[in-house]
Each structure stands twice: as C-alpha cells, then as structure tokens.
C-alpha cells in the first residue's frame, strides 16, 4: 500500500505524515526511513518484499526522494509496485508537478497535498520553546522548517545549547538574579525543568557539543547527527 503527503507547505505535509505514522506506531507497526543520503536502489527493492521480523505491519517512509534524481525516478517509475506491495509505504515530498500528482493519485490509497498560504516568517526561537516543552515531534518539524529557511545547523544547535544552558542555570540557582537570567527566561526555564530528569541536561549538553565538534572534524554529518539527537530526545 502507498500513502503520500506532499505540497508547498513542507512542514504541514510532514505533520500530516507523522499523524499517520503515530497512529500506526501506537498499534505496533515497525517504521523504517529511507532517505536520499547514501541512496541505493537495492534499499527500495528490498523494502518492497521484506517481512517484519516481529510479524507486525512494516512501514517504510520514503523521505523526499526528489533530493536524489535516481531515487525520485525509481519511485515514480514503480508507483504501481509500491501500491501492490504487502508492506506500507509513506511518501513525503515537496511540491510536485501536475503529471506527477496525477500518477500518484492513481496508485496511492491516500494522497494528501498541503499547500502553503501566505508565507509566514520563520521564528527560530520556536525551536527553543519546543525543546523546553520536550515536544519532540514539533521540534523535529521545526528543524526541517529551519533548514527550508536556510538556517545553518550550527545556528540551530546554538539555540538549543543556549536553552539547555538556561535550564541548567535554573536547575542550580534559587532565583533569576542568582542564575544571571532575565525574570521571563528564568520563569520559562523553571517551568520546563519538570520535563527533564536530574543529570539529563548535562548529558544532552554534552551530546550537542560532541555533534558540533564531530561535524566540523568530518567524523559525522552535522545535519543528520542533529536530527538523530532530536529524535532520541
């Protein structure tokens, strides 16, 4: 089976896709993501016929194949095969041309297009607020939104690190003045502390620092490592 979510509102399309994935994950589905990074045709061919080791529903998320022409061509040349597979495929894409939409509508069980209205200014501090709430889903979507708006991963990591720093200061001080924070920042940080266990903020801070240094030394891809950090939050 094939389900698709796409459109000019990239964050909105991803949000719709994740609503679908969250429902099925709660029912025990095994979810695997296939991305353009390091794409190999065999990964999609294997997914078409693979069976879950745990016997439940197997869902493969084909995430923005348009970033890699060979991947995109393979997917759209074989939509009928994906639709007939015993596994479930969720296609997440950006804007599609009319012929591509028409072909997708022919084979997909669900074909959801999310169109952007007036362009809203991206608020980078929404990332900090999502982290403060420990809202992993919103944080991940905002991370994609940040990339769409050209915000460097280093800047994103910096904002998150600053929020962790505020939380750690609030954790160890008894007043805004003692922590060296403005009252509003102090109040927000104090309210967010309940989302984190003792010592957890130190670990998260250390993880971000490692991502920064490893990303700049070439030991790992900065963007992918930051996404992984968010998903493991």
The residue out of 79, 113, 147 marking a domain boundary is 113
Instruction: Indicate whether 142 and 97 sit together in one domain.
Output: no
Most confident of 12-26, 28-42, 49-63, 197-211: 197-211
Assign 31 a pLDDT band (cuts: 50, 70, 90): confident
Contacts of 15 (CB under 8 A, 6+ apart): 114, 141
Q: Is the pLDDT of residue 156 over 80?
A: yes
Does residue 118 carry a pLDDT above 60? no
Q: What percent of the chain has pLDDT over 90?
A: 40
Q: Are 141 and 86 in a shared domain? A: no
Q: What is the CATH number of the domain that holds 224?
A: 1.20.272.10
Whole-angstrom distance, CA of residue 30 vs CA of residue 176:
45
Residue 26 — very low, low, confident or very high, per pLDDT cuts 50/70/90? confident
Which residue has better confidence, 207 or 67?
Answer: 207
Q: Each residue of 39-63: pLDDT tens digit?
A: 889 989 989 876 655 556 789 999 8
Domain boundary pick from 67, 92, 113? 113
Does residue 119 form part of some domain? no
- Residue 163's closest CA among 137, 133, 122? 133
Same domain, 52 and 147: no
Residue 54 lies in a domain: yes
pLDDT at 182: 85
Cα separation values, 32 from 59, 171, 172, Å? 6, 37, 40
Q: What's the pTM?
A: 0.56
Residue 213 sits in which domain range?
125-231
Please check whether residue 118 lies inside any domain of the structure. Answer: no
At which of 113, 136, 168 does a domain end?
113
Q: Write the CATH number for 32.
A: 3.40.50.300
Averaged over 26-30, what is the pLDDT?
A: 83
Question: Do residues 220 and 148 both lie within one domain?
Answer: yes
When divided into structural domains, the chain yields a total of 2
């Amino acid at each position: 089976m094939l389900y698709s979510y796409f459109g000019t509102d990239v964050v909105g399309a991803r949000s719709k896709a994740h609503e679908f994935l969250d429902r099925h994950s709660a029912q025990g589905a095994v979810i695997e993501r296939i991305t353009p990074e390091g794409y190999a045709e065999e990964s999609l061919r294997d997914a078409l016929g693979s069976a879950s080791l745990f016997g439940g529903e197997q869902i493969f998320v084909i995430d923005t194949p348009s970033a890699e022409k060979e991947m995109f061509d393979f997917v759209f040349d074989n939509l009928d095969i994906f639709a007939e597979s015993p596994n479930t495929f969720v296609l997440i894409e950006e804007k599609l041309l009319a012929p591509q939409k028409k072909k997708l509508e022919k084979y997909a069980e669900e074909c959801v297009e999310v169109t952007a209205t007036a362009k809203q200014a991206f608020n980078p501090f929404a990332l900090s607020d999502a982290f403060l709430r420990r809202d992993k889903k919103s944080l991940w979507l905002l991370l994609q939104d940040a990339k769409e708006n050209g915000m460097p991963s280093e800047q994103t990591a910096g904002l998150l690190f600053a929020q962790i720093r505020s939380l750690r200061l609030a954790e160890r001080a008894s007043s805004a003045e003692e922590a060296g924070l403005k009252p509003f920042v102090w109040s927000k940080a104090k309210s967010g502390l309940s989302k984190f266990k003792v010592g957890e903020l130190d670990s998260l801070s250390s993880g971000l620092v490692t991502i920064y240094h490893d990303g700049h030394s070439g030991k790992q891809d900065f963007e992918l490592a930051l996404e992984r950090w968010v998903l493991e939050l």
